A and B are shown apart, each in its own frame.
Chain A
Amino acid sequence: MSQRDRALGRRLLFPLLVLLALVQGYPIAFAAYISFHNYQLTALDQVRWVGLAQYQGLLDNPSYWTATRNTLVFVGGAVILELLLGLALALLLHWPVPGQNAFRAIILMPMFITPIAVGLMFRFLLNSQLGIIPALLRPLGLDVDWFGPRLALVSLILIDVWQWTPLMVLFLLAGLEALPTEPFEAARVDGASSLQILRHLTLPLLRPVILAAVLIRMLDAFRVFEYVYAITRGGPGERTETILFHIYRVGFLYFRLGEAAAMSFTLAAVILILVVILFYILRRQEAWA
């Protein structure tokens, strides 16, 4: 590569780096500053250094741990269900059936919709007085309170599954279509059953795609906010209080900005670890220079 190409590369990259410094670099530095100070909008002349106090405060804050636990349950439950359902649907869609493309396009639809609309649609559908689903279940003797203390978090997980299983389907279908055909033909000739082929051939070959899809879904599920905001606002009690919703509550309803900033850094740390793993997987997929 010539010297001139190298110089051109740097010039082409420059605008992006300036933009990222402005919209990411500066705000992150500002957030770090806020997390080390007692920063209050009502008393900007009394801002003072408090060190790690606001991070230490998180450790003894039961609400923070409740929100962390809820978020982990949400992420784990949603991603596992989406993977299993997504795998089943991808295998179904991979086989030629009449109207395949139409099925595929419709099944992918939910992932393109704004999550607040999804949240409100299901609040409507599952509402115990107005909703169709409880109305259909009642004659069967099932009186389910979908957003009551026992089921609220589960309901939010199921809503996430409705919206984001399509993303899994998208990834797994692409993975299935990129698989080589020879090993499958060989396995058939050797008399392997469909289940054996799935377990010993399809799944191992799909592993990188599965890992990438799972990580991308996890990264997204960690910032769940809209369903909580649309339906439960963290309740009943703190049953559905998630990390991002808790940050919103502390920062924008209680105006404790420093504490909220400290929490957002702990969330960012978890996210960054996941990004590193995702990067490593993608990198191995295609030997990037």
Chain B
Amino acid sequence: MTPLLRFRVAAFPAWRVWTRRHWGTGGRLLLLGISVFVVLFPFLWVLAASLKPPTEINRPTLWGFTPTGAIWAEVWLGSPFARYFLNSLLVGGITVGISLAVGTPAAYAFSRFRTGGTGLRFLILAAQMLPPALFIIPFFLMAYHTGLLDTVWAVAAAHLTFIAPLVTWFLIGFFEDVPWDLEEQAMVDGCTRWRAFLRVVLPAARPGLGAAGLFALIMSWNEMFYALMLAGGHSKTLPVAIAGYWTFRGVDLGKMSVAILSAVLPVLVVSFFVQRFLIRGLGGGALKG
């Protein structure tokens, strides 16, 4: 056998393995590329619409126009949009603050002492899943009778219905991941259980607390049903404001696009910090993240 032929025989299977592996990778990259395109295209489209001059807005093109920041300036400076942005932050801040304050000790009690047992765990899960339709009528009437209609307080109170149990549920898993030894050691060193919780367990669970808080903030920021019914006027939140750009009265595509991107971009940035904690949190500690 000549050396050349020997080389070919030896190389042939290697070549086949190479094509199989790399064709497979290429195929996968192609499919993933298509998925990424499907995900990103709507954003690109809305971004283009937000930069188009008014004469171009009704033509379905993605490029070939002179971009202008005029609509961005008009929405942010020439309308109460900044106010709605602030309303959303206020509602989210109030809701998440109260939820963390109340949910953290409860989740700790549950993960360490099983206070309330199975019944309580079920209550916490069910409480975050109940449909908003159940609460909206009483909340509307209560807000109406107390004069809180169209205030951020009414919306924040309604958001507490699902966000307080959500935060509690989320945190159970993260407290369970903090080893018992940590606080036992602190108690041997003379701390009470409560001080051990504050000094040792809370710092150890900080990533989970951060993820729970940010996720809850996103949920409150995105919520529209309660906000629409309880605060449609000057204390409306961003989702309600966005909906207002396209109604039966008319549509302003440029402004709507600016509003959508303004509401969505901060959330997308925050979401990258939350993603890897979500499974542990949503499963209430039952699923590995």
Which A residues lie at the B interface, using CB under 8 A?
Answer: 1, 4-6, 8-10, 12-13, 15-16, 19-20, 23-24, 26-28, 30-31, 34, 41, 89, 92-93, 95, 97-98, 103, 105-110, 112-118, 120-125, 129-132, 135, 162, 170-171, 174-175, 178, 209, 212, 216, 219, 222-223, 225-226, 229-230, 243-244, 247-248, 251-252, 257, 260-261, 263-265, 267-268, 271-272, 274-276, 278-279, 282-283, 285-286, 288-289
Contact = CB atoms under 8 A, between A and B. Distances in A.
A123 B142 CA distance: 35
A260 B40 CA distance: 39
Interface string B87-126: 0000000000010011101101110111111101111011
A9 B283 CA distance: 22
Given A109-B39, A264-B131, A244 B102 contact: no
Contacts of B243: 116, 120, 229-230
A5 B193 CA distance: 8
B193 A124 contact: no
B45 A125 contact: yes
What's the dominant secondary structure at chain A's contact region? helix
A178 B122 CA distance: 25
Interface in B110-157: 110, 112-118, 120-123, 125-127, 129-142, 144, 157
Contacts of B168: 16
B200 interface: no
Contacts of B134: 27-28, 31, 264-265, 267-268
What's the dominant secondary structure at chain B's contact region? helix
Nearest to B260: A117
11 contacts: A15-B105, A27-B142, A34-B141, A97-B28, A107-B32, A107-B35, A115-B224, A209-B287, A226-B225, A230-B246, A275-B122
Contact of B278 (A107, A170, A261): A170
B39 A19 contact: no
Contacts of A279: 121-122, 125-126
Contacts of B228: 229
A230 B225 CA distance: 12
A13 B134 CA distance: 25
Contact of B39 (A30, A106, A243): A106
A153 B271 CA distance: 30
B68 to A, nearest CB: 19
B279 A171 contact: yes
Given A222-B131, A244-B131, A114 B275 contact: no
A178 B60 contact: no
Nearest to B133: A264
A262 to B, nearest CB: 10
Contacts of B289: 174
A116 B242 CA distance: 7
B178 to A, nearest CB: 15
B188 interface: no
B39 A251 contact: no
Contact of B137 (A15, A105, A264): A264
Nearest to B265: A113
A174 B39 CA distance: 21
B272 interface: yes
Interface stretch (B5-13, B158-166, B205-213): B158-166
Contacts of A288: 118, 121, 286
Given A225-B225, A244-B132, A27 B138 contact: yes
B60 A275 contact: no
